[in-house]
Each structure stands twice: as structure tokens, then as C-alpha cells.
Amino acid sequence: MLQSDKLLEVQNLRVTYRFEDKKIRAVDDVSFSIREGDRFAIVGESGSGKSTLGLSIVRLCPGEASGSVRLNGIDILKLSQEELRKLRGSDISVVFQDPSSALNPVLRIGDQLIEVFTTHGYDKTEAYTRSAKLLETVGIPEPEKRLMSYPHQLSGGMKQRVIIAMAIALNPKLVIADEPTSALDVTIQAQILKLIKELSETKKLSMILITHDIGVAAEVCNEIGIMYAGRMLEIGTFEDVFHNPKHPYTQSLMTCVPKGLKCVLKPLPGNVPDMSNLPSGCKFHPRCPYANDKCKTIEPKLEKADGRYVACHAVW
Amino acid sequence: MNTLARELVKSKMVLASIIILLSFIFMALFADFLAPYSPIESDLSISNKPPSWEHPFGTDELGRDILSRVIHGAKLTLTISFAATAIGALVGIIVGILSGFYGRAVDTITQRFTDVLLALPGFLLAVMFVAIMGNNLATVIASVALSLVPSYIRMSRGLTLQVKELEYVLAAKQLGVSNIKIMTRHIIPNISPTLIAQITLNLGTAILFASGLGFLGIGVPPPQPEWGTMLGTGRTYMFYAPHLIIFPGLAVFLVVFSFNKIGDRIGEVIASK
Amino acid sequence: MIRLIPGDPARVLAGLMASEEDVELIREQLGLNKPLYVQPFTYMANLFTFNLGVSARTDSPVLYEVMARLPNTLALALSSTALAVALGVPLGVFAASRKSSKIDTLVSTFSIVGISLPTYWLGLIMITVFAVELHLLPAGGYGTPAHFVLPTITIALFLMAFIVKITKASVIDSMEKEYVVTARSKGLTERVILYKHILRNALIPVVTIIGLQFGSLLGGAVITETIYAWPGLGRLIIDAINNRDYPMVQGSIFIFALLYALVNLVTDLIYTIVDPRVRLG
């Protein structure tokens, strides 16, 4: 097997949802890659397809996916169900948005944490000791007692710590965090974000962080991809994209400069596009201040410019 | 409503159910023209005759034509079903809405009243009612209605409690819109879809209850051709004249099945929205 | 209220040939000569001591007769609930896991047929087929396990159809929950996801419904017990109504209501066991 320095390589990924007679392409021709140790932020408004993209990497999305998603050269989209099952939770794990609905309400925290180990071959006693230790790692006091608790007996922040514990349990090669803080109270958000940042540094986690909040991405990530209407519009290092955005859409996002963790968004003219009825050409052109005739007809491709990739006719 | 109708017709089984129901309603409306014989007059010389060309469903223990009795029975059964469900639903929904909307004392009183009704299983409540009040068409309707009331109270009360807290209802209240208007304009339209599914299902339950009473001999009294009553009396002769029980029972099953199938589908369509 | 049933119980008890004095004597024994408005209060006071009076027809204590019949009713209710749960829950889960397939449609249709079949009709037909034509099973009565078969199936079919419907809906509902995606993301097998994560949640409402249905099943006993000449409480009530035996009607209804309340209480208790969220109140 060819050993590249790329941990994850996504190529021409398309995800289509079917509703009776309608088809919606939530992710369209997306390509990007992550090296080991990268923390890649996927930033976009709600409905931009960023969660679909994130979950499709481990095929947790009900939509049909085409293209390729290679982890260390192995195409996840081609794995058998059993191979996929073995990969999930051990090689790639997920942190979900709302810890209240992501945890099973009728099972003890212990049951839900221990099964991550047991399903991947650990025996029960070892799974138990490791689970208790893990709760301590994510900052949950009295771990042995908490293992016996039910989710409703924990606060939202504690529940999210449990979800994070599950995600890092088997030292995965990649963690996909889907809006890990947006369902939480503001003060708790900061704590969870701090935990994620610490863990990603101490454990050298590679991570995809999906968020609508540039401030959150700024805390954790070194790479960033900007999504709009199912497409990647700009991909580069966080430094470049953040301080010197090229795509007009990225520029409009960056004008909402973070104040601490708060981010005041400057409203764009027009609306988030209707995914079942997308405009022709560049999907952003109806809202773009620089749009020209070419933008209305020909969809721009991601091209290298100034140290990052941008999909825009108007930048040069 | 139009889309609901279209959704209903999509399924063949639901369409079949609608056709079955319409034909029974047709039978009920034109029973006098459709029935070949009188449902009441007896002729003992031809009692318990198996199905033949003259009497396609055979004759009963008093020589009456069973086909004619089943046709006329549709009138009784559907009357009971619609009347009992309408009364039960109307009373239950009004009480439930008032109870949910006003709360406090009104709620406490209606809740205790519901508890009393719920002290016995529904069918047994109906049995006790006719046992006390005597059995005739009116008391059978009333008893079935009574047994349906508590579920409507519970349901519409619960739904009202939810709708009451919706922002625009609260806003309407702040603006000084009268309670009656809030209930008729906001609460009833909001809770009616769920109730419609329930009502359709209960039309079937009402028939099962009413003819169950008839079967026990405490329903609509003979010589009325109520299907359950026919089954109850036919039971004595069923060992050598099974046609006495086959046809009335089949009629009950078909109508109840149709109501259930349609009600089920309505529920599904509403839930998917 | 039951005193309003037309017909004089004292006369029924005394029989057709009794003299007016005999009737009067019986009336006095039963307390029927007291003013109508006093009777309910004396009766209620007696209820607290489980003194349900004596049957107006057989002269034996009501409580004794009711208690003699109660186990028969319970036995039938339990056997049919057991059968309905044993078949209905797996069938509902199966239909849910093959949603929209031919099997699912078949199971759903069967379930609507089951809840639409009038028990009394089904009972009569089963008697005709299995007892009269095939001579396989007794047509009615009580005593041997064979006597249980037809009444149990008759009752169970309705309940099972209902359980199938509820189970299917509940499982489908749980399948769409986010914790299922979480479970999948951990790399659990679909088997574990279904049995551990989905079913634990989906069966909570099913347990409640079974409890409530067990209650109405007791109400349906009046019909099944009549069809199969089953010596239970339901039959006792119908006979008592037809005989205008008010003490018996009142007594058995009282016990019935107690039993019903008990069943509902047990259902609530079970609910707190299966759902950890209500355990601590």
C-alpha cells in the first residue's frame, strides 16, 4: 500500500438525499485532505452540507455517497459493513452536537462507555477500568459513581464530556466533532472547547471540527475549509484564510470578527440558497458583490492561489 | 384536507375500505328498496334454511331473510356508530378543552369525573350503563358514547395544554382576544388533526362495543336486526345453521376493518406532516 | 344506582310460588325495606369490611362467589396476555426492522384485521371449526388445559394485533433517534444496536400499553367467558344482570374495579422500573 503523508483524503465526494421524487445533493464534488495531527475546521452556515460531509466520512449519513474517502489509503466508501463497523469507534470516532439526544436515556453511562471497548475486543474488567480512567481524563469527578449514573442525572456539559470520552476511548486516528459546543450554555461551551483543545494537544489528535462559528474554529484548528451550498469555496491554513480571506464569501464571514468567543455576523444580502433549486454557475453569485457574467454561467473550480485553494472567478 | 384525501386514495387497501364503507352507507340509506324481504316479519315454515337463490344468506330461526336483516342492520349499526362517536367526541372534546384551558377548579372537577369513568374498563362501563338504564337504541348509543368520553377528555385536555403555551396563543391572550375566540380560532384548529384520526378509529370501536352488547343480549333488543343481537340469538342454532352467525359477523368485521384502516392511514398522514 | 334496574330482587329470590309474607321477609333480610337513599350508605360502609352481602339468588355470600370465580378470569387473562406478548412483540420488531417490505405490509394488514375482528364472532367461528367440525377441542367449559386453548387464542389475537401495531410504531420511532447514530459511530453491531439500544427504549411504551390493555381485557371477559361458558367473573356479572341479582352485580363490579385499579397501579410500578428517567421521581 502506498504510504502518503495524508491521513485522510476525500476526493470528489458527492452525497445525495432522495425524497420520493426529489433529489437533493447536499455535498457536491468536495475534495480535501488532512495530514496526521491536523485539526481541520469545516465552517459554513446551517444547511451548507457541512454536517452531511462530516458524517459521510464514516457513512453515518442516510444519503448516497460517491467519490472516495481514503483513510491511510483505504477507501472507506468501499468497505464491507463489518469492516466499516470495526473502523468506527476505533479508527474514526464522532462527537455529536446535542449530548442530550446522543446518549441513550435508558442505559447507564457505564454501559454506553464500556461497550466502546468491548465491541472492539476488550474484556469487561479492562473496559471498566479504562472507562473510569477515561472519565477522569475528560474532567468528570467521581468517575466510578458516574459510570452507574443515567444520562438524565448529568448536566449538559458533563454529558458532552462523556461523549468526548467515548470518542477518544480507543485513541482514534481521527475524531469528527460535529458542532460539539453549539447545544450547550455559553459558559459550558468555553469549558468544553478548552477540553477539546487540551485533548487535541496532549493526545495529538487529528480532528475535523464542524462549526458555524469561526471563533470556535480559531480556538482549535490549524486548517480550515469554507463550505457553501454543498461545495468547498476556500481551503487553506487557518492563518492564511483567517487573516487574508480570498473568496468573497469567506471575506464576508471574516468581517464578523470574533470578540473573545462571541462572533458578530455581518448580515449578507440575500438568503441561504434553496438546496433543491440552486442557482446556475457559482452558487454564491446572487449574494456576491463582485459577481460578473462568467460567475452566473460557469461554476468555478478550486484552484491554488496564494498558498491556499479558492473557487472563484473574481479573485484574480 | 384535499391533500389528505389524495394521500388516502393512494393506498389500494384504504381505497377498498372507503368503497366498503360507502356501500354500507348506501345500504343503510336505501335499505327499504334494497332489501328483498321484510327484516321483521317471520315465517316459521322456512326457519333456519341455508343459503339459496331465494335467500342468498339463508333464513334465521324465525324464517326471516338474513340478507334483508343484514341490510337493515347497516342502518342501525351505522346510526349507533356515528351517533355514539359524535356524542362521545363532542362531550369529551368540549369538556377536555375547557378543562385544559381554564385549569384550576374546572380541571380538578373534570379530572375526578374522568377518574370515576375510568374506574372500569370501557366495555364494562357500557355494560353497567345498559344494565341500569335498560336496553334500547337510545341507551345503547348513550352507553357507548359514555365509554368513549374519558379518552376524548384526556386527549383534548393534553393537546390543549400544549397549544395553550404556544407563543401566538399567549400573544392573542395578551391582546385581549376573548377566550371563546382563542378556543375556536386557535385551539380547535390546532388539535383537530389528531382528534380526527382518533374519531375514525373510534367509529369502529363503537360498533364493536354496541354489537358486543347485542351479543350479550343487552344491546338493541330483538326483533331489531342489529348485527350483534343477530349473532347473540343465532348462537343457539349455529351448530346446524352456521349461516346465522357468519353473515352478521362478517358485516361487523368489514365495517370495523374499514374504519380502522382509514383511521390508521389518516394518523400516518398527519404524523408525517 | 343498580337498585334502579326494574324488577324486584326479593320476589326473584323468593320464587314464583312464594307468598307475599315470604317476599316481605326476604326484603327485610336484605335491607331492601329501608328507604332507597339509606341503602347506598349502608352498602358503602359494608364495602370497607369487604362485606358485599349475599346473592339475591343463591343466598351465598357475594364475596365467596366472586373470589371463587376470580382466579378463572385471571388465569385466562394471563394466558392470553402471555401468548399475545410472546408473539406480538417479536412480530412488531420484525416488521419494524423490515419497514416498507412485503412482510411489513403483511404484518400490518394482519394487525388491522386482528383489531377489527369481533371477539364474539371469532369465538363462535373457532368453536364451529375446531370443536364442532374437527372435534379437536372442547367447545366450552373449564378444567383441562385443552379448555384454555380456544378462549386464549380468541382473546390473544386481538391483543396481539394491538401489540404488533404499537411495538412496530415504537421501534420505528426509536430507530430514528440520535443515540442510534451514536451507537453506530461506536462500531457496535446492528444486533447490539437493535437489542440493547433501540429495544430498551422502544419497549417502554409497549409495556405501558400492555398493562392498560390487560385492564380492558378484563372488561372483554364478559364476552369471551359467555361464549366459552367459562366460569369467571365476567360471566358472573352477565348472569347476575340477567337474574337481577343486584348484590351480586354490585359486589362483582366492586371487585372488578379494585382489580382494574390494581392492574393500573402495577403498570405504573413496572413503568418506573423499565424507565430510569422516572425511577427517582
- Chain A window 112-131: which residues touch C at a Cβ cutoff of 8 Å? 115-116, 119-120
A191 within some domain: no
Q: Scanning every residue of chain C, which has its alpha carbon at the shortest distance from the alpha carbon of B254?
A: C116
A150 & A179 share domain: no
> Which amino acid type is present at position C140?
G
A111 & A247 share domain: no
- Which domain does A147 fall in, by range? 92-171
pLDDT at C33: 62
C-alpha cell at C103: 412482510
A80 & A206 share domain: yes
A189 within some domain: no
- Chain C window 61-120: which residues touch B at a Cβ cutoff of 8 Å? 109, 112-113, 115-120
A274 & A146 share domain: no
Interface test with C, best of B208, B226, B236 (most C CBs within 10 A): B208
A139 & A271 share domain: no
C127 chain-B contacts, CB cut-off 8 A: 238
Gap from A316 CA to chain C (nearest CA, Å):
43
Candidates B191, B256, B268; CA nearest to B17 is B256
A105 & A230 share domain: no
Gap from C276 CA to chain A (nearest CA, Å):
6
Number of domains in chain A: 2
A238 & A308 share domain: yes
Q: CA–CA separation, B97 vs B156, rounded Å? A: 6
**Given pLDDT bands bounded at 50, 70 and 90, which one contains residue A283?**
confident
Please give the residue that has the higher pLDDT: either C52 or B223. B223
Q: Which phi and psi angles does A258 have, rounded to 5°?
A: -70, 135
Which residue blocks in chain B are alpha helix, DSSP H?
2-10, 12-29, 31-34, 66-102, 104-117, 122-133, 137-164, 167-174, 179-181, 188-215, 227-234, 243-271
A101 & A165 share domain: yes
Q: CA–CA separation, C78 vs A260, rounded Å? A: 65
A259 within some domain: yes
Please give the residue that has the higher pLDDT: either B89 or C1. B89
Is residue C1 over pLDDT 50? no
Gap from C272 CA to chain A (nearest CA, Å):
11
Q: Are C181 and A87 a contacting pair at CB < 8 A?
A: no
Query: Whose grid coordinates read 399567549?
Result: B170
Query: Whose grid coordinates read 487540551?
Result: A198
Please give the residue that has the higher pLDDT: either C280 or C278. C278
**Given pLDDT bands bounded at 50, 70 and 90, which one contains residue A289?**
confident
Domain boundary among A171, A193, A225: A171
Interface test with C, best of A76, A106, A150 (most C CBs within 10 A): A106
A59 & A24 share domain: yes
Q: Which of C6, C112, C118 sits opposite B264 (nearest CB)?
A: C112
Interface test with A, best of C178, C185, C195 (most A CBs within 10 A): C185
Q: CA–CA separation, C105 vs A283, rounded Å? A: 43
User: Tens digit of pLDDT for each residue in C251-265?
Assistant: 888 888 888 888 888
Averaged over B115-131, what is the pLDDT?
Answer: 87
Domains, in order of start, for chain B: 2-40+58-272 (1.10.3720.10)
ipTM of this model?
0.86
Q: CA–CA separation, A36 vs A207, rounded Å? A: 9
A12 & A29 share domain: yes
* Residue C29 forms contact with A (CB below 8 Å): no
Please give the residue that has the higher pLDDT: either B46 or A133. A133
A223 within some domain: yes
C-alpha cell at B251: 358485516
Please give the residue that has the higher pLDDT: either C41 or B53. B53
A210 within some domain: yes
A308 & A240 share domain: yes
A195 within some domain: no
> For the whole model, what pTM was predicted?
0.82
Chains A and B touch (3+ CB pairs under 8 A): no
* Residue A106 forms contact with C (CB below 8 Å): yes
Q: Which of C187, C197, C275 sits opposite A89 (nearest CB)?
A: C187
User: Tens digit of pLDDT for each residue in B194-217?
Assistant: 888 888 888 989 999 999 999 988
Q: Are C188 and A94 a contacting pair at CB < 8 A?
A: no
Gap from C181 CA to chain A (nearest CA, Å):
7
A280 & A139 share domain: no
Domain boundary among A115, A150, A171: A171
**Given pLDDT bands bounded at 50, 70 and 90, which one contains residue C15?**
low
Q: CA–CA separation, C232 vs C151, rounded Å? A: 12
* DSSP-derived pairing of the beta strands A303-305 and A308-310: antiparallel
A88 chain-C contacts, CB cut-off 8 A: 184-187
pLDDT at A213: 84
**Given pLDDT bands bounded at 50, 70 and 90, which one contains residue C48?**
low
CATH of the domain at A256: 3.40.50.300
Q: Which of C115, C124, C219 sits opposite B235 (nearest CB)?
A: C124
Chains B and C touch (3+ CB pairs under 8 A): yes
Interface test with C, best of B123, B136, B235 (most C CBs within 10 A): B123
Is residue B188 over pLDDT 50? yes
Q: How many CB pairs under 8 A join B and C?
A: 107
- Chain A window 227-286: which residues touch C at a Cβ cutoff of 8 Å? none
C-alpha cell at C3: 337498585
Subunits adjacent to chain C (3 or more Cβ pairs under 8 Å): A, B
A107 within some domain: yes
Query: Whose grid coordinates read 480559531?
Result: A218
A190 within some domain: no
User: Tens digit of pLDDT for each residue in C76-108?
Assistant: 999 999 999 999 999 999 998 887 788 888 888
| CB B260 within 8 Å of CB B204 | yes
